[in-house]
Amino acid sequence: MSQLSTQTENPESRGHPLIKIRELTRSYRTETVSVDALRGIDLEINQGEFVAIMGSSGSGKSTLMNILGCLDRQTQGDYSLEGNYVGQLSRDQLAKLRNQTIGFVFQNFHLLPRTSALENVELPLLYSSEKPGWKELHHRAREALDIVGLADRGKHTPSELSGGQQQRVAIARALVTRPSILLADEPTGNLDSRTSLEIIGLFQQLNRDGLTILMVTHEPKIARFAGRVILMRDGLIRSDRKIPAGDAREALENWQDEADDHDDPLADIEHAAKSDQESKN
């Protein structure tokens, strides 16, 4: 029997748990491979948090994000999202919960080519249970593009936009359904340092406005702008702690090509992640 509460909580109140997982495992089993990607994870994420998940390649970060995002299911353990037990939902219920609750951002943007920014952003609404009319659809997509600072680029196709602008369109697409959680898997992995800072600045702004954000990154220089850093290793959480988050806007103002690393609150995590990486190689 599970110890989690099944009652639905009020998602408006900052600080209440949006995500609760207990003893979560995920194993991949086929005839040829058997991998225990997650080996028993306990985690709570509260409304309003900005969390960075770090860890070397293969430590289980994407597997965890996919389960949190209801794209995949755990092998064992409990996952409750906004008070709903994900393991007990049907496929349709799960899809509905995902559409209403979660926005996704990926390393490679995943925009449709030869399709305008505005249409890319409209897409999730076309598939949502809300199914707004065309007028509302355009309005919502424009609003989302405005939030990410691209109100004037709606007609551009991805190939006519820079990497940073493409990621902004992808963020607008994630926001258009008004999710309570943004899940971002290596969102700055394909961006240069300065553009990465701009994207993190946007995340911080969205977070200040109440959006809960979980971001996978292997870069301490990016993780330091979150308020909490979780380090994964071999399918387990190795450390989990709150840090004084840097201000990305300030960092941008003082930006130089190779910013120095004085007072890096994650120096030891960087060291641990590096030694994990080296032990893998």
Ligand X SMILES: Nc1ncnc2c1ncn2[C@@H]1O[C@H](COP(=O)(O)OP(=O)(O)O)[C@@H](O)[C@H]1O
Residue 60 as a binder of ligand X (CB under 6 A): the answer is: yes
Stretch that binds ligand X, among 7-15, 60-68, 127-135, 240-248 (CB under 6 A): 60-68
CA distance 137 to 122: 6
Rounded least distance, CB 94 to Mg ion, Å = 22
Q: Which residues make Cβ contacts (< 8 Å) with residue 70, sequence separation at least 6?
A: 81, 86, 94, 95, 97, 98, 102
Rounded least distance, CB 104 to ligand X, Å = 14
Rounded least distance, CB 8 to Mg ion, Å = 31
Structure tokens given for 84: 């709903």
Rounded least distance, CB 273 to ligand X, Å = 11
Residues 66, 242, 182, 220, Cα dihedral to 10°: -80
Rounded least distance, CB 170 to Mg ion, Å = 17
Residue 63 as a binder of ligand X (CB under 6 A): the answer is: yes
* CB nearer to Mg ion: pick between 147 and 191: 191
Structure tokens given for 108: 């490679």
**Going along the chain, which residue ranges are E strands?**
17-29, 34-46, 50-55, 76-81, 84-85, 102-106, 181-185, 212-216, 228-233, 236-242
Stretch that binds ligand X, among 31-39, 83-91, 126-134, 239-247 (CB under 6 A): 31-39
Q: Residue from 45, 49, 51, 61 that binds ligand X (CB under 6 A)?
A: 61
Task: Using alpha carbons, select from 200, 118, 122, 120 the residue that is nearest to residue 151.
Answer: 118
Residue 149 as a binder of ligand X (CB under 6 A): the answer is: no
Stretch that binds ligand X, among 28-36, 150-158, 258-266, 273-281 (CB under 6 A): 28-36
Residue 31, helix vs strand vs coil = coil
Residue 211 as a binder of ligand X (CB under 6 A): the answer is: no
Helix residue spans in 74-133 (DSSP H): 91-101, 117-126
Residue 28 as a binder of ligand X (CB under 6 A): the answer is: yes
Q: Considering CB under 6 A, how many residues would be counted as binding ligand X? A: 12
CA distance 3 to 15: 20
Rounded least distance, CB 62 to Mg ion, Å = 3
Counting every residue, how long is the chain?
A: 281
Which neighbouring-strand residues pair with 22? Answer: 78
Residue 74 as a binder of ligand X (CB under 6 A): the answer is: no
Task: Please list every residue from 23 through 82 that binds Mg ion, using CB under 5 A.
Answer: 61-62
Q: Residue from 1, 10, 33, 254 that binds ligand X (CB under 6 A)?
A: 33
Residues that bind ligand X (CB under 6 A): 28, 33, 35, 37, 55, 57-63
